[in-house]
Structure 1
Amino acid sequence: MKGIKSIIFDLGGVLLNIDYGLTINAFKDLGIKNFDEIYTQFKQEKFFDDFETGKSTSNQFRSGIKNYLPTVNNKQIDAAWNAMLLNFPKENIELLKLLKEHYKLFLLSNTNEIHFSKFNEIIYNQYQIPSLDVFFDKVYYSFLVGYRKPHLETFKQVLSESCIHADETLFIDDSKQHIEGAKRAGLNTHLLSGKDNVADALKKLGLI
């Protein structure tokens, strides 16, 4: 792949190891037996969508969960919600350091306030890095910017605000629907499968 000057990364499943099943099971253990019907990676109810676009606060999210589980406390809710967030592989951290010397780097993540605090805690505990933001020219967290993937306008906004060109930019994500949204915006894309890691993908593309 030639002519790439910028790379936009997804977070979960690309740079950060995650397991949605752990959160589903954690909420089932707390008592929401149909949590997998309420929340999945690919289809979310408006309740979760509002949380990821900043239309509702962490406390409103917790109150919504308490409608299903009136006896649980905030700490239990946060622990179950964060259960999916695992770790940052060392090779991904080293990769970002390397790429930063050669490309403009951006992060575009559908995320929320509770997860934001947790994954920054994880990266600090693992590597004493104060924030994931240090690796990127600009970060776009859906709960802060108010828009999310895979909507076309999300990608257009990132391109415009970052002053980068779609044909010179690679977008990497592990979600097919997000990749399709990026393609509609004219971006070069790579769908990261469960068997791939991001470094190997970039090597195959000739970018490192």
Structure 2
Amino acid sequence: MIFKSVPLTKEDLSGIDNIIFDFGGVLFDIDYDAPVRAFSALGGKGFEAIYAQSGQTQLFDKLETGNISSQDFYTEVRTALGVNHSNEVLEEAWHTILLDIPKERVDLIYKLKSQFKTYVFSNTNAIHVAEFEKIVDRAMGIEYFKAAFEKVHYSNVLGFKKPYPESFTKYCQLEGLEPAKTLFIDDSLQHVEGAEKAGLLAYHIDVTKMDVRAVFQALLD
């Protein structure tokens, strides 16, 4: 079952033992469109054609499953966009997607831990992990963040990513979770749909209309 932009009730959560959270967009604030603007400012043509929240090209699939090195990623970006900037310049543009993490969201996860086992499943890459973990560390301490969850899993380490239903099946098998007793929360609809197909209860947060903190609080009420 998929819930979209409506508060979850205690009845909805009956039988739910586990909650898997998306990272970027749910726990960590991001700006999906910022890299398009940044690469365009560098003279890159057509970055939006190979990158989007709703779907990305094989290049980003390889990056987010750990199947391409950072060096090779930058080389392919230079070729695709017709630019000749250094890795450092491209990295700065790529990092513009990353904003900040409100500590109060993680504080609420600690409260949820008294009722549910909590997890993270993030589509990400080694380049971004190195940067956003610094941001998390400055905001609250990386250990405080990770201790809020049973496990924090990054797709580039797992070798599989959302939105494929089989990825959610693998995740649940990895952590010993029953899909029917697991809630998945994400701001990307295609990810939520993939989770639902794998048998999880799935909740779509429209971050343009909803307060993420209020959604978390509703899970406690």
Short-chain TM bin: over 0.9
Whole-angstrom CA distance in 2 between matches of 1:65 and 1:77: 8
Return the offset for 1:66.
2.3
Confirm whether residue 98 of structure 1 aligns to residue 114 of structure 2.
Answer: no
Q: 1:115 to 1:42 in 2, by over 3 A?
A: same
Whole-angstrom CA distance in 2 between matches of 1:112 and 1:13: 15
| 3-state DSSP of counterpart to 2:71 | helix
Within a 5 Å distance, the mapping from 1:41-56 to structure 2 comes to 41-56=53-68
Whole-angstrom CA distance in 2 between matches of 1:7 and 1:198: 15
Q: 1:100 to 1:36 in 2, by over 3 A?
A: same
Deviates more, 1:86-95 or 1:60-69: 60-69
Scaled by the length of structure 2, what TM-score is found?
0.87
Return the offset for 1:180.
0.8
Scaled by the length of structure 1, what TM-score is found?
0.92
The number of residue pairs the alignment matches comes to 207
Whole-angstrom CA distance in 1 between matches of 2:217 and 2:145: 23
| 3-state DSSP of counterpart to 2:142 | coil
Q: Which runs of 5+ in 1 are unaligned?
A: none
Confirm whether residue 31 of structure 1 aligns to residue 43 of structure 2.
Answer: yes
Bigger RCO (CA 8 Å, 6+ sep): 2
Whole-angstrom CA distance in 2 between matches of 1:54 and 1:111: 9
Deviates more, 1:106-115 or 1:29-38: 29-38
Aligned to 2:172: 159
Please identify runs of 4+ aligned residues in structure 1 that moved more than 4 A: none
| 3-state DSSP of counterpart to 1:108 | strand
Within a 5 Å distance, the mapping from 1:170-185 to structure 2 comes to 170-185=183-198
CA contact (8 A) 1:14 1:197 kept: no
Aligned to 2:131: 118
Return the offset for 1:62.
1.2
What is the aligned-residue identity percentage? 38
Residue type at the aligned position of 1:174: D
* Residue number among 196, 211, 218 corresponding to 1:197 in the alignment: 211
Return the offset for 1:90.
2.3
Return the offset for 1:47.
1.0
* Residue number among 142, 145, 165 corresponding to 2:158 in the alignment: 145
CA contact (8 A) 2:108 2:217 kept: no
Whole-angstrom CA distance in 2 between matches of 1:207 and 1:157: 28
CA contact (8 A) 2:105 2:216 kept: no
Q: 1:106 to 1:50 in 2, by over 3 A?
A: same
* Residue number among 29, 40, 60 corresponding to 2:52 in the alignment: 40
CA contact (8 A) 1:123 1:131 kept: no
Whole-angstrom CA distance in 1 between matches of 2:86 and 2:145: 28
Aligned to 1:187: 200
Return the offset for 1:146.
0.9
Residue type at the aligned position of 1:22: A
